[in-house]
């Protein structure tokens, strides 16, 4: 059965200006990702993976080309409209966790629910923290948690809104092998349970191998 396309890039190009002149860091990239698919975006450092990820999530805008996320053309939206779309449809996991240091684990997980205007933020966030194995650490601040625990909180935060697409940028990059493996397992389990589309940028070949599809980039192009 054909699955609905949830994410589509069409002829994406991103140029930046530098002291040496204009640089093209992503060139004419096109692909479509069906709902529920797990995709690994791989390539050497500087290949343009993170830039593509940023454009797919509406964090950056392409110099030319189009991006559709769950049917919406991101390139026609202003920054606030893209932010609203992310609040509703997108989750993120980062290599550096990016938890808010002044909020507890629970408050961090509640954050996207509150930004999306959901009234049951506390209940859902507690449930999600329990799901990632941190039910007894809800009141802890990020500094009081280990790296693996912080990434679990980040996973809970990314999944709690049940996004259409979950973007992960090197989610195990800052973790040791064992912790990385357990986080990886959790990521795929959550993805399977919610049927979310997963796009992850990684150098980790084992992690990439667990994805249904692999997109490889080199010098700003898909190969």
Task: Confirm or reject binding of residue 169 to other proteins (CB under 8 A).
Answer: yes
Which residue carries 């989750």 as its tokens? 91
Give first-to-last CA distance, the chain, whole Å: 27
Q: 200: helix, coil or strand?
A: strand
Closest residue by Cα to residue 168 from 192, 148, 191, 141:
191
Binding segment for other proteins (CB under 8 A), chosen from 115-123, 124-132, 171-179, 215-223, is 115-123
In angstroms, rounded to a whole number, what is the distance separating the alpha carbons of residues 113 and 109?
Answer: 8
Q: From the CB of residue 163, how many other CB atoms can be counted at a distance below 10 Å?
A: 22
Number of residues that bind other proteins (CB under 8 A): 34
Binds other proteins (CB under 8 A): choice among 41, 60, 62, 159: 60
Task: Confirm or reject binding of residue 138 to other proteins (CB under 8 A).
Answer: no
**Pattern 6-35, other proteins, x by CB under 8 A:** ------------------------------
Q: Which is nearer to other proteins, 107 or 124 (CB)?
A: 107
Which residue carries 């973790």 as its tokens? 175
Binds other proteins (CB under 8 A): choice among 5, 35, 115, 127: 115
- Would you state the structure tokens that stand for residue 30, as one six-digit string? 């096109």
Site for other proteins in 40-59 (CB under 8 A): 50, 53-54, 57-59
Binds other proteins (CB under 8 A): choice among 98, 126, 162, 214: 98
Q: From the CB of residue 162, how many other CB atoms can be counted at a distance below 10 Å?
A: 15
In angstroms, rounded to a whole number, what is the distance separating the alpha carbons of residues 93 and 157?
Answer: 8
Task: Confirm or reject binding of residue 114 to other proteins (CB under 8 A).
Answer: yes
Footprint on this chain of other proteins (rule: CB under 8 A): 50, 53-54, 57-60, 79-80, 83-88, 90, 92, 94, 98, 100-103, 107, 111-112, 114-117, 141, 143, 157, 169
């Amino acid at each position: 059965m054909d699955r609905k396309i949830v994410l589509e890039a069409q002829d994406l190009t991103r140029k930046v200006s530098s002291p040496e002149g204009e640089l093209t860091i992503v060139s004419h990239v096109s692909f479509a990702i069906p709902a529920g698919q797990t995709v690994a975006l791989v390539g050497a450092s500087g290949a343009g993976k993170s830039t593509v990820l940023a454009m797919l999530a509406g964090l950056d805008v392409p110099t030319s080309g189009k991006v559709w996320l769950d049917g919406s053309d991101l390139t026609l939206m202003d920054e606030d409209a893209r932010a609203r779309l992310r609040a509703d449809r997108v989750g993120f996991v980062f290599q550096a966790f990016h938890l808010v240091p002044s909020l507890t684990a629970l408050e961090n997980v509640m954050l996207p629910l509150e930004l999306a205007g959901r009234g049951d933020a506390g209940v859902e966030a507690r449930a999600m923290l329990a799901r990632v194995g941190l039910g007894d650490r809800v009141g802890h601040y990020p500094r009081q948690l280990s790296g693996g625990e912080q990434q679990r909180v980040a996973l809970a935060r990314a999944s709690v809104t049940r996004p259409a697409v979950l973007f992960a940028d090197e989610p195990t990059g800052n973790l040791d092998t064992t912790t990385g493996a357990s986080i990886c397992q959790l990521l795929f389990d959550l993805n399977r349970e919610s049927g979310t589309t997963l796009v992850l940028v990684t150098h980790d070949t084992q992690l990439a191998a667990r994805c249904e599809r692999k997109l490889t980039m080199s010098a700003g192009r898909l190969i």
